[in-house]
Chains A and B, each alone.
Chain A
Amino acid sequence: MTAARIAGPAKNNQPAKTKPGDGSREDGIVQNGGPRQRLGRRAARARRVLTSSAASTIAICVGVLWSVPTFGLLVTSFRGSVQDIRTTGWWEALKPSNWGGFSLDHYGTVLSGTGTANLADYFVNSIVMTLPAVVIPIFLALLAAYAFAWIPFRGSNILFVGIFALQVVPIQVAMVPLLTQYVNLGLNSSFWVLWLSHAMFGLPLAIFLLHNFMKEIPRSLVEAARVDGAGHVTTFFRIILPLMVPAIASFAIFQFLWVWNDLLVALAFGGNTPDLAPITARLSDMAGSLGSRWHLLAAGAFVSTIVPMGVFLALQRYFVRGLLAGSVKG
């Protein structure tokens, strides 16, 4: 079954992939034929190796090992008695004699909140923070990537390397100067600081990723559009954008998960107030100032995971395709 699932999408992709190739056959049938055959052989060999029963066994073992801690956390989140969690392992709860110990108490406490905090406020904050923080860098990075890929200008290579080099600047270094600027601009204590910060920190990778993907679009396609009289704007919206959907979706998942799970940027720029702080901040506070309510953390973690999980499952298809798209093409 695993084998069928791995092979399935690859087969389906075959006809779709030859389509752009058909268009370019007039100008380069010889150049295209060689690499493609070699690629086909390589793909076949990879498929043979990866779908062998030994490989499947290893994959299943790794998968199980990988999921065990998460599963343990899930079981723990349903254990009602604090004493039990403290003194025995989570697997004890799975024994039929202990099934009576399961309860939804911790979830109840997490959702209803402790102290004055209301989880819903933080949940809304997380959504308000995350959506623009994903959309802004994608929008800007698409424009930048288009310029780098299809508009030749002096110094574009140096500029591109410079942008990617920004990747190595640690966030921590930028924090105090950036916060100073926000205070000067009067943006402090608003969602703008979070949107802008996440956009800035996400842009280098976004531009790099989208640029590389955009470069893969056959030049002939763009040139044909130009011959037909399309300007940059038309080319961008009618030709490039539809082809970019997998790449955009895969970066969107990256950025979404990073922003949703972020605690550092949110606390450093926004502060830990119910007006701005995301759900991760609430989660880290839930255990109390001195960690005396640590037993709530397991349930809290699962509540905060629901949204990223939903997003990931819904966009997973693009994610895999988007990642492969950058790497496999010769």
Chain B
Amino acid sequence: MKRSLGRVVVAAGMGLVLAGAVAACGTDDKEAGGGGDSATTADCSAYEQYGDLSGKSVTVYTTFVDTEGASYEESFKPFAACTGLTVKYEGSKSLTADVLGRIEAGAVADIVAFPQPGLLQQAVATGKVLPVPAAVAQNVDQYWTASWRNYGSVGGTLYAAPLGASVKSLVWYSPSAFTQYGYEVPQTWDDLLTLTADIAADGQAKPWCAGIADGDATGWVATDWVEDMVLRSAGPQAYDQWVNHEIRFNDPKIVDSLKEMSKILRNDSYVNAGIGDIVSIAATPWTDAGTPILDGQCFLHRQASFYGGNFAAENADVGENGDIWAFYLPSSDPSSKPILGAGDFVAAFADRPEVVAFQTFLSSPEWANEKAKVTDGGWTTANNGLVKSNLKSAVDQLAYGLLADPSAEFRFDGSDLMPAVVGSDAFWKQMTAYFAEVKPEQDVADAIEAAWPKD
């Protein structure tokens, strides 16, 4: 018996030694990689209005983790340094799954950034979300358009100020390959179809690559495609009716939009470049789907502005004259410019003075510019107080330009606005079937309509 106990002790000891070794490595690196505090020396005049908040603390909960989360924490530093406030940041990819439970249990953070207006509505329904303070409402009116204010409101009351934003109506391409083969960026939807046919005829590679797989969220990429098509083929007005279920999901306008999309995504000579056939779209991870452009196996890939980060991770030269760049997914009529996008909305669950102050700061141009300066790429906002040149990545500047364009009509990602059983269930699954089983457009629309909750 003694011998065996000895073994246990040895095992425990081994574990501790290992832990110690790893701890030692980690500490060294932390010291080497530090030095991010230099930003705090900025002048404090912009923050004087918030007063002295030393000794107070605010908790913030978002979906951003790792380097994305770190840039948020970094952007809070000047405010924290000038006011003395302690900001406790928490980022978790499971926010959408657990935030309602936390609200119910009373364990929710002071400030939560909701990634979907639909989730914000559910949170407001619990009665725990506080309407925004007057200073925040004033900022929202001053720096955002009415449609953004609308997406942060429930029943006419503004509950959440917009935070970040992304633009989804983008097509990624390689400027160097376009120059090489003499292709030009299309200005209308018909131009895009012609370009697609030309690329296919030239036979270098199939023109489009796509992929919609994303674990248990498989299908969302395709819903973005559909939304962009509805905006272009049926128009922004029909889009609003469709999202609010004022017209049915299997309305002829929507089915026609799906058929328009099939012209590209269900044509075997147009997809799926560098990967496989139409069916392969359903199984290709969305993170991998655009990268064949870098290998010259694919020419066009429709994906949001944040996809720039994936190209950056491959060490690609992202820029107007580089290996990879994006153009606006054109509409059939060049005079209208619908833009599909998404964003987050910050709501507060407490009204302590420091929470109000921090919430006001997040809706101010000071924060937007601070955030832009510390983010390497993959972030933008619709706050028109942002100075474009502060955004470090060219793609983010392009996206911000589109968001700030007064002639553009912004629409929020429809699947985030629809009821969850449709927007993050039936819609996803049916679009997966649209590729995996090559299900007819009418059947797809009928099946999603059938899933819409009856009220």
Residues of A within 8 A of B (CB): 82-83, 86-87, 111-121, 123-124, 127, 175-177, 179-180, 182-183, 188, 242, 245, 249, 267-268, 271-273, 281, 284-294, 303, 306-307, 310-311, 314-315, 317-318
Is the beta-carbon distance between A315 and B104 smaller than 8 angstroms? no
> Do A111 and B18 form a contact, CB below 8 Å, given A289-B65, A310-B11?
no
Is the beta-carbon distance between B67 and A315 smaller than 8 angstroms? no
Least CB separation from A264: chain B residue: B94
Is the beta-carbon distance between B29 and A289 smaller than 8 angstroms? no
In chain B, positions 1-60 with a C-beta closer than 8 Å to chain A are 1, 4-5, 7-8, 10-11, 14-15, 18-19, 22-27, 29-30, 32-33, 36
Is the beta-carbon distance between A113 and B314 smaller than 8 angstroms? no
Check: B439 CB closer than 8 A to any chain A CB.
no
Check: B176 CB closer than 8 A to any chain A CB.
no
Is the beta-carbon distance between B15 and A288 smaller than 8 angstroms? no
Is the beta-carbon distance between A292 and B25 smaller than 8 angstroms? no
> Of the 9-residue stretches B84-92, B130-138, B144-152, B392-400, which lies at the interface with chain A?
B84-92
Q: List 30 A-B contacts (CB under 8 A).
A: A111-B29, A113-B29, A115-B65, A115-B67, A116-B69, A116-B70, A118-B26, A119-B22, A121-B26, A123-B23, A176-B104, A179-B102, A179-B105, A179-B107, A180-B105, A180-B107, A242-B1, A271-B90, A287-B66, A288-B65, A289-B65, A289-B68, A289-B91, A290-B306, A290-B309, A293-B66, A293-B313, A294-B287, A307-B15, A311-B15
Known: A289-B65, A290-B287. 12 other contacts (CB 8 A): A121-B26, A180-B105, A183-B106, A267-B92, A272-B65, A272-B91, A284-B93, A289-B63, A291-B287, A292-B312, A307-B19, A314-B7
Complex CA distance for A311 and B11, rounded to whole angstroms = 6
List, in ascending order, chain B residues with CB within 8 A of A123's CB. 19, 22-23, 26
Complex CA distance for A120 and B98, rounded to whole angstroms = 26
Contact of B98 among A117, A267, A310, A317 (CB under 8 A): A267
Is the beta-carbon distance between B98 and A285 smaller than 8 angstroms? no
List, in ascending order, chain A residues with CB within 8 A of B22's CB. 111, 119-120, 123, 303
Contact of B30 among A87, A118, A292 (CB under 8 A): A118
> Do A285 and B65 form a contact, CB below 8 Å, given A123-B19, A311-B15?
yes
In chain B, positions 378-421 with a C-beta closer than 8 Å to chain A are 378
List, in ascending order, chain A residues with CB within 8 A of B291's CB. 86
> Do A124 and B378 form a contact, CB below 8 Å, given A288-B67, A292-B310, A314-B11?
no
List, in ascending order, chain B residues with CB within 8 A of A113's CB. 26, 29-30, 33
Complex CA distance for A160 and B107, rounded to whole angstroms = 34
List, in ascending order, chain A residues with CB within 8 A of B107's CB. 179-180, 182-183, 188
Check: B202 CB closer than 8 A to any chain A CB.
no
For the complex of A and B, 6 pairs with smallest distance between CB atoms: A120-B26, A314-B11, A115-B70, A179-B105, A112-B29, A285-B65
List, in ascending order, chain A residues with CB within 8 A of B295's CB. 87
Contact of B94 among A267, A314, A315, A318 (CB under 8 A): A267
Check: B440 CB closer than 8 A to any chain A CB.
no
Check: B288 CB closer than 8 A to any chain A CB.
yes
Is the beta-carbon distance between A127 and B19 smaller than 8 angstroms? yes
Complex CA distance for A290 and B164, rounded to whole angstroms = 15
Measured CB to CB, the closest approach of chain B to A105, in angstroms, equals 13
Is the beta-carbon distance between B101 and A176 smaller than 8 angstroms? yes
Measured CB to CB, the closest approach of chain A to B417, in angstroms, equals 21
Q: Please report whether the interface of chain B is mostly helix, strand, loop or mixed according to DSSP.
A: helix
Check: B64 CB closer than 8 A to any chain A CB.
yes
Check: B73 CB closer than 8 A to any chain A CB.
yes
Complex CA distance for A318 and B378, rounded to whole angstroms = 51
Complex CA distance for A124 and B11, rounded to whole angstroms = 17
Least CB separation from B98: chain A residue: A268
Is the beta-carbon distance between B26 and A292 smaller than 8 angstroms? no
Is the beta-carbon distance between A288 and B309 smaller than 8 angstroms? yes
Complex CA distance for A272 and B61, rounded to whole angstroms = 9
Least CB separation from B311: chain A residue: A292
Is the beta-carbon distance between A310 and B18 smaller than 8 angstroms? yes
Complex CA distance for A124 and B24, rounded to whole angstroms = 11
Is the beta-carbon distance between B68 and A288 smaller than 8 angstroms? yes
List, in ascending order, chain B residues with CB within 8 A of A175's CB. 101
Measured CB to CB, the closest approach of chain A to B80, in angstroms, equals 14
List, in ascending order, chain A residues with CB within 8 A of B5's CB. 245
Measured CB to CB, the closest approach of chain B to A130, in angstroms, equals 9
Complex CA distance for A115 and B69, rounded to whole angstroms = 7
Measured CB to CB, the closest approach of chain A to B93, in angstroms, equals 7
Contact of A82 among B4, B89, B106, B313 (CB under 8 A): B313
Is the beta-carbon distance between B63 and A124 smaller than 8 angstroms? no
Least CB separation from B1: chain A residue: A242
Measured CB to CB, the closest approach of chain A to B7, in angstroms, equals 6
Is the beta-carbon distance between A289 and B1 smaller than 8 angstroms? no
> Do A249 and B67 form a contact, CB below 8 Å, given A116-B73, A179-B105, A292-B313?
no
Least CB separation from A268: chain B residue: B98
List, in ascending order, chain B residues with CB within 8 A of A115's CB. 65-70
Is the beta-carbon distance between B66 and A117 smaller than 8 angstroms? yes
Measured CB to CB, the closest approach of chain B to A44, in angstroms, equals 28
Measured CB to CB, the closest approach of chain A to B439, in angstroms, equals 27
List, in ascending order, chain A residues with CB within 8 A of B33's CB. 112-113
Complex CA distance for A87 and B310, rounded to whole angstroms = 15
Contact of A180 among B26, B27, B68, B106 (CB under 8 A): B106
